[in-house]
Amino acid sequence: DTEVTQTPKHLVMGMTNKKSLKCEQHMGHRAMYWYKQKAKKPPELMFVYSYEKLSINESVPSRFSPECPNSSLLNLHLHALQPEDSALYLCASSQDDKGRYEQYFGPGTRLTVT
Amino acid sequence: GQNIDQPTEMTATEGAIVQINCTYQTSGFNGLFWYQQHAGEAPTFLSYNVLDGLEEKGRFSSFLSRSKGYSYLLLKELQMKDSASYLCAVRVSGGSYIPTFGRGTSLIVHP
């Protein structure tokens, strides 16, 4: 199983809402990532979890809150977002976070903030 | 920091060969990835180069010259389904080791 799954596929939320994005992989990968991607731009790294611990936070605003409940799951909790946060949110995993291995990406969640 | 440069857009004809270039300026280079991303979909891994030379995988090949800070992705026998964005990502040592993506090259294959 070389699949990373993400739910939901699409999400529309108001600026006062609280929602969560979910990501799951069963490849035994110990590194998991959240990326934000705007149209016609490359993915921008947001967070990295290594062995279920947050190892990198790329100065992401606190309205985005990651969580790694176990080695297979990664969540991104959203609260009080702004319209400019509308983007494709990609989850990825790799065997470790040392960059020696390719990343496997999920299909993404298309988020629209109204 | 890192500076990764790719052409924004390229067009090619079905059945032809196309070469997508990626140049980079980094300190502590430690590997280069190529990913393919169809519109609205996730990036998928194509190749990884860490040593100079050519890596071939079916219709796709990737080349690296570390001394020139240069890589290319070569796509042969182009098919319409190859229309996608091609992302070059560079890994450096001494930092987080997480690859940084270039802006991507949008390839349009026409009949």
- Nearest-by-CA chain B residue for A41: B103
Report pLDDT digits (tens) over B24-67.
998 888 899 999 999 888 899 999 999 999 999 999 999 999 99
DSSP letter for B39, please. Answer: T
Distance CA A77, CA B55 (A): 40
Asked if residue A68 has pLDDT above 80, the reply is yes
3-state class of A58 per DSSP?
coil
Interface test with A, best of B44, B88, B98, B105 (most A CBs within 10 A): B98
- Do the Cβ atoms of A107 and B41 come within 8 Å? yes
Strand partners, A88: A37, A110
- Nearest-by-CA chain A residue for B34: A102
Report pLDDT digits (tens) over A37-54.
998 889 999 999 999 999
